Amino acid sequence: MCGQRAGGGGVVPILFLLFCFLIQQVTGHLDDCTCDVETIDAFNNYKLFPRLNELLESDYFRYYKVNLKKPCPFWNDNSHCGIRDCAVKPCPSDEVPDGIRSGSYKYSEEANNLAEECEEAKRLGAVDGSLSKETQEAVLRWTRHDDSSDSFCEADDIYSPDAEYVDLLLNPERYTGYKGPDAWKIWNSIYEENCFKPQNVKRPLASGRGDAHFFSGVCVEKRAFYKLVSGLHASINIHLSARYLLQDTWSEKKWGPNITEFQQRFDEVITRGEGPRRLKNLYFLYLIELRALSKVLPFFERPAFQLYTGNKSYDAEMKNLLLEILHLAKSFPLHFDENSFFAGNKKEAAKLKEEFRLHFKNISKIMDCVGCFKCRLWGKLQTQGLGTALKILFSESLIEKIPESGPSYGFQLTRQEIVALFNAFGRISTSVRELENFRNILQNMR
């Protein structure tokens, strides 16, 4: 069988590799899109990826605040991965730039303080001062509930004592050894209980079905939801295959691409036809997140918005790079057309949109059930990033009304959402780049 491990060293015969290379090609147009794989590869790998990588290494984007101690809300299983590579090392507070620790996540420090005062006044302005403290707090809770109505994720409380800053560059996403029943349980729960699927299909993780059969009778919105989750799953598997622990000795660890691992997850024969579809779903996810970046440009273009870390000249330089990336995203010639979503009967469309939002929010909660802390970190970040992208796409009319100066009450992004949005897209962009790397490795083994 193609991709079969040879005895002892796990080396795959060259002829099998070349055969796999031929059948693993993912080319041509994507379903539900006007775009093709080749256009995305060229745009991402040679234009966008290098600039995005530079941005994500900057201080504003490398520090992410996360609570890795939240209990799983769905089952009583608090087992954690004991493998050392599953661990996450949080940052000492004095290593995080002052501007980030001060909570200035919306604008510059001065503008942010003013915005917070305005928002608080807006929330309490209509509240009678004679009301009890309990009633005023209840009003604030209602307001927070209203504010969360456009959220696609269950976000961490960054003010919780259990929330800590993590340096993403020092805790890279890679193979940790976390696998087996625990990892399967997570993905099975995501697909079985939280993905739109035909009722007669019981096991979305099982291989061997064609798209036409699986999506028979499924509307474009539900089909897209499933593809987004499948694309995220594929992206994570590419990262694990590309940064695999190849050597672990007392003197050094060596990480790099594992061809056999990649084939086990994506080869057409081994996966009985599912591998190439998974990779096409990755490209679909790429288009969705790229479209969100192109749509959110007005929010970041305002002079009031700053990537505030406390270093003015460096922050200005990074904002220019950010805008360059967003303009580049906008220039992409074959964007996904989200106008086909929820375009039918208004009442039914609103109901489906809310169902769409709640399904994804539930998936974000499942990330607190992941037993590997490093996998949990990157799972939470990537689901929040995709959730933020969906929030942007469903807020187009609000984004168009953003004033050029002053705070925007209709549409807002926190620093957490901004960091997650760009790092999540960075993961997808890296996956597309790694696919080219795997192709080149296989070609060079002829």
One-letter amino acid identity for 379? G
Q: Tell me if 283 sits within 8 A of 40, measured CB to CB.
A: yes
One-letter amino acid identity for 8? G
C-alpha 136, offset from chain centre: 36
Give the Cα separation of 256 and 74 in Å (integer): 35
Residue in 446, 387, 374, 327 with CA at minimum distance from that of residue 167: 374
Residue in 26, 442, 10, 444 with CA at minimum distance from that of residue 231: 26
Which of 2, 81, 153, 375 is labelled catalytic? 375
C-alpha 228, offset from chain centre: 10
Task: Assess whether 375 carries a catalytic annotation.
Answer: yes
Q: Give, to the nearest 10 degrees, the angle between helix 109-124 and helix 133-147.
A: 120
Cα distances (Å, whole numbers) of residue 439 to 148, 351, 365: 43, 43, 35
Exposure of 355 by Cβ count < 10 A (0-12 exposed, 13-18 middle, 19+ buried)?
A: middle
Taken in order 29, 32, 34, 36, the sign of the CA dihedral is negative
Is 189 annotated as ligand-binding? no
Strand partners, 167: 63
Strand partners, 90: 166
Is 233 annotated as ligand-binding? yes
Is 187 annotated as ligand-binding? yes
Is 143 annotated as ligand-binding? no
Is 265 annotated as ligand-binding? yes
Which of 2, 91, 369, 372 is labelled catalytic? 372
Is 174 annotated as ligand-binding? yes
Task: Assess whether 153 carries a catalytic annotation.
Answer: no
* Active site members: 372, 375
Where is the binding site for FAD, in residues?
Answer: 174, 176, 187, 230, 233, 265
Where is the binding site, in residues?
Answer: 174, 176, 187, 230, 233, 265
